[in-house]
Homo-oligomer: A and B are copies of this chain.
Amino acid sequence: MTKVVLNVEGMSCMHCVNAVKRAVGSLKGVAETTVDLAGKKVIVEFDPALVSINSVKEAIVDQGYSVV
């Protein structure tokens, strides 16, 4: 299991937090998704054999946010 902390811009409320958690959490291989709204961070624990960090980033971008 790998843990990565992503800096994500654009999340402004609990709806955004839920949208990101839902999108990332639905990827096969993602074990846990934590969003720090104030800190603008998304912490993802995933199995790199099942999902790439690029797929995780894409899922966040698809929701309308920027991974910086």
Contact = CB atoms under 8 A, between A and B. Distances in A.
* Count of this chain's copies in the oligomeric assembly: 2
Contacts of A19: 15
A23 interface: no
Contacts of A64: 14
Chain A contact residues: helix, strand, loop or mixed = helix
Nearest to A11: B13
Contacts of A14: 64
A16 interface: yes
A54 interface: no
Interface string A4-35: 00000000111110010000000000000000
9 contacts: A12-B12, A12-B13, A13-B13, A13-B15, A13-B16, A14-B64, A15-B15, A15-B16, A15-B19
